[in-house]
Structure 1
Amino acid sequence: MAHAPIDADAPVGVFDSGVGGLSVLRAVHALLPAERLLYVADSGHAPYGDKPVAFVQARAEHCLHVLRRAGCKAAVVACNTVTGLSIGALRALHPDWPIVAIEPAVKPAVAATHSGVVAVLATRNTVRSAGLARLIEQHGDGVRVLAQACPGWVECVEQGRLDGPQTEAMVADVVTPLVQAGADVLALGCTHYPFLRPVIERVAGPGVQVLDPAPAVARELQRRLQAAGALRRADGRTAALPLLTSGDPAAAAAVAQRLLGERLTVHAAPLP
């Protein structure tokens, strides 16, 4: 059966466990400035990285339901944990809806390494997910891939602590041993981590490349919308970037402004 045409003026929905997915929203907005965007931050239930699989999938299903109910023409899963644990199940629930999902940049990392050692920085759930294991099996042949959990990093970004001695020490505890083990490429496997990129690069040193998959997600979204004839025409106006959060709206607004450098319209959403 043919699918109904997609309304090009409808928004694109983006969701994450918290504000980390704003790194993906930033990339989408930069590539597709005419698109209306709606962001859902499930901060009241964050982080997902240490939660049971069934809990993560249930939260993801609910966030997608919120985006679909809001009339979004496509959804972006801006959470590596959700992708690694349940993207297949989520797409099966919405076979007629474009869902673009982020995943760690294992393939580009393997292509870029000179030392033969790359590291994936991620949450515990992503590190032990079938999704990451599949990526490593598909693309990691002949290269040593170190999958490394980064405890405390998500909470650090959620609180807006992007720099300073404590943040640098926390990053160094993870990154320094990986560099000492020979890793010359660090693939960011959590959408919160790009906001720590200046610290990560400073700790890792100039010989280490840091990869953020968010621009690739934006390009894939562009491709999917273009194929469906659903890219929105530019009208010369800057679209608002509304954010729904299950956490504290004032805290989300303050952190989002620090992360993006611009004020977002933030609304409380129960997301029960």
Structure 2
Amino acid sequence: MALIGVFDSGVGGLSILDEALRQLPEHDFIYLADSAHAPYGERSGAWIASRSLALCTYLASQGCDAIVVACNTATAEAIAQIRIELDTIPIVGVEPGIKPAVMQSQNGVLGVLATEATLNSDKFNALLHAISPNCTVIKQAGAGLVPLIEAGKANTDETLALLAKHLEPIQKAGADTLVLGCTHYPFLNKAIHQILGESITLIDTSEAVVRQLKRQLNNPEKKVQTVKAGSIIFLSSKDEKTLLKMAKELMRSDLNAHAIDAKLLRDLE
């Protein structure tokens, strides 16, 4: 049985944890939400890189056998350095699903909803350069969406109105596929379909991310024993009780099947 760290700027990475519990329920997890400093997408690249490395180093010090950087912004700005510094354990990142979107689109018009930091990153732009020049990509920053989701307002009229504003350029361009370039955004799936219609294809890479994690854990050198269900520690830099409450509200997994604890992160403050 492995101990897996899942790190995000806030509650967005719960979408990754949810999928991890579906594919890997037997393992133990630490979910670290840096909610005191969310959203990362509006911060400088240097700050994101430094903070992300510090938090992943903390998770490694807690005995994690693998770490998922479940934040597109942190992955774009920091994962290369994290992998250098923590080279003894697998580090799995997330990135916008541009390639699967190209494969699934029927008309070659793609929308990408992500944070400003992700859209401006070298890593994201390298993904764009690798796709067919016949594809049209409409990039849209989802400014303001993450704080609303963090505040438990994913399904409010306020969020719906802001989301509609952000999706307008994508809708006008006739995109048939939308890449969710932030792990917070899968919690807006219902609202997105309400605005764009049921025919829009949403690309969420959480399943692929966890498959990659699973491959890393199945490495013969890192073979683990399996049991029925592992434990989950919810760790927040802001409010551990709110994090646990939101996990129960947002996640589809049956958390009652796992031993659960919620703690406040103090070590790095």
TM over 0.5: yes
State the SS of the aligned residue for 1:49: helix
- The answer to whether the Cα contact below 8 Å between 1:107 and 1:140 also exists between their aligned partners in 2 is no
1:97-131 CA-to-partner distances (Å, cap 9, x unmatched) read 21010100000001111121101110110011111
* Structure 2 equivalent of residue 152 of structure 1: 144
* Structure 2 equivalent of residue 102 of structure 1: 94
- The answer to whether the Cα contact below 8 Å between 1:176 and 1:204 also exists between their aligned partners in 2 is no
TM-score (norm 2): 0.93
Give the number of equivalent residue pairs: 263
1:139-165 CA-to-partner distances (Å, cap 9, x unmatched) read 243201122100111111111112132
- The answer to whether the Cα contact below 8 Å between 1:102 and 1:217 also exists between their aligned partners in 2 is yes
Partners of 2:185 and 2:198 lie apart in 1 by: 18
* Structure 2 equivalent of residue 202 of structure 1: 194
Partners of 1:197 and 1:43 lie apart in 2 by: 22
One-letter code aligned to 1:213: T
Q: Is 1:256 equivalent to 2:241 in the alignment?
A: no
Structure-2 change in CA distance of 1:29 and 1:229 (3 Å)? farther
Identity of aligned residues (%): 37
TM-score (norm 1): 0.92
Q: How does 1:132-171 map to 2 (within 5 A)?
A: 132-171=124-163
User: Unaligned stretches of 5+ in structure 2?
Assistant: none
Partners of 1:118 and 1:63 lie apart in 2 by: 33
Structure 1 residues 144-153 or 87-96, which shifts more?
87-96
- The answer to whether the Cα contact below 8 Å between 2:114 and 2:181 also exists between their aligned partners in 1 is yes
- The answer to whether the Cα contact below 8 Å between 2:186 and 2:204 also exists between their aligned partners in 1 is yes
One-letter code aligned to 1:260: M
The offset of 1:244, in angstroms, is 0.8
State the SS of the aligned residue for 2:133: coil
* Structure 1 equivalent of residue 238 of structure 2: 247
Structure-2 change in CA distance of 1:156 and 1:214 (3 Å)? same
- The answer to whether the Cα contact below 8 Å between 1:40 and 1:243 also exists between their aligned partners in 2 is yes
Partners of 2:13 and 2:67 lie apart in 1 by: 12
State the SS of the aligned residue for 1:115: coil
The offset of 1:265, in angstroms, is 2.2
- The answer to whether the Cα contact below 8 Å between 1:49 and 1:124 also exists between their aligned partners in 2 is yes
* Structure 1 equivalent of residue 210 of structure 2: 218
State the SS of the aligned residue for 2:130: helix
Alignment RMSD (CA, Å)? 1.5
State the SS of the aligned residue for 2:6: strand
* Structure 2 equivalent of residue 89 of structure 1: 81
The offset of 1:177, in angstroms, is 2.5
Match of 1:177 among 169, 194, 199: 169
Partners of 1:229 and 1:161 lie apart in 2 by: 44
Structure-2 change in CA distance of 1:94 and 1:114 (3 Å)? same
User: Unaligned stretches of 5+ in structure 1?
Assistant: 1-8
Partners of 1:248 and 1:18 lie apart in 2 by: 11
Structure-2 change in CA distance of 1:140 and 1:258 (3 Å)? farther
Partners of 1:141 and 1:11 lie apart in 2 by: 42
